[in-house]
Structure 1
């Protein structure tokens, strides 16, 4: 067989081998396919959620805002069955203003609910879907869903839905 006929297939094979050996990176310079330490990530997410809750109940806006993604696509939704109310904020500016107004209208800190120690987490590279229930001494039982994003190595909240069920009347 002629050496020129072998040169093209061999060159293609070498190029494919080199390309397959490269480490792919996503848009945040995180290696795609990197093994995730799910327990460490869960612990970091739990810390973010608890610190965000503490800041909100202590009325510390500056600490609270550090736990959120600041862009126009995030959402925050409250459904309160006992109060028969619903609110939705879309985008960082609207969410931020909602919280600032709430703090201005309710400046006194509230008792911090028992901090979370158990959450359900589904990790997706730089994102996580988190669900949990929490007992609030003022509002009763709450079910929360949080969409988390890892930004510069730190977990932040990119979406929140809170459903408040109140207190069980038979207890």
Structure 2
């Protein structure tokens, strides 16, 4: 009887515990904790070192540490490597801060949009939904089977490779290409 009560208590504790453990995902070899903000998690991902360096160079750390909420489409290092040689090195120079900021803020949408939210918007939009970025541009989200992808203003396509990485101030969706505004 005592063992049954202990087991029941343990199951109840798990059922009513915060979703911290259930929602924690691995990105770039690091756990992404929903109790930490976007920057606190991103700095631990070995797949996002270029993005973190760019965010620091653009002076966006404080913004992405604020309450938000934000939906961030976070390009991996491999995504940045697809850009023409020397592009990243040029963008992180102080004299190119405005251009870098424009590109990075094009990857951010106000609000917390999960993959399910995006799919519902796509269904509502009959196959596509337009998102307004904090940069002021538009991104289109589309669905191919159960996978989501984004189309930027220049017609570039970026797939969401890891969805729903929840943060204390929003959600990150890892993408495999850098999105470009007009």
Computing the radius of gyration from Cα coordinates, the structure with the larger value is 1
Same-fold call, TM cutoff 0.5: no
> Normalising by the residue count of structure 1, what TM-score does the alignment of the two structures yield?
0.36
> Normalising by the residue count of structure 2, what TM-score does the alignment of the two structures yield?
0.35
Higher helix share: 2
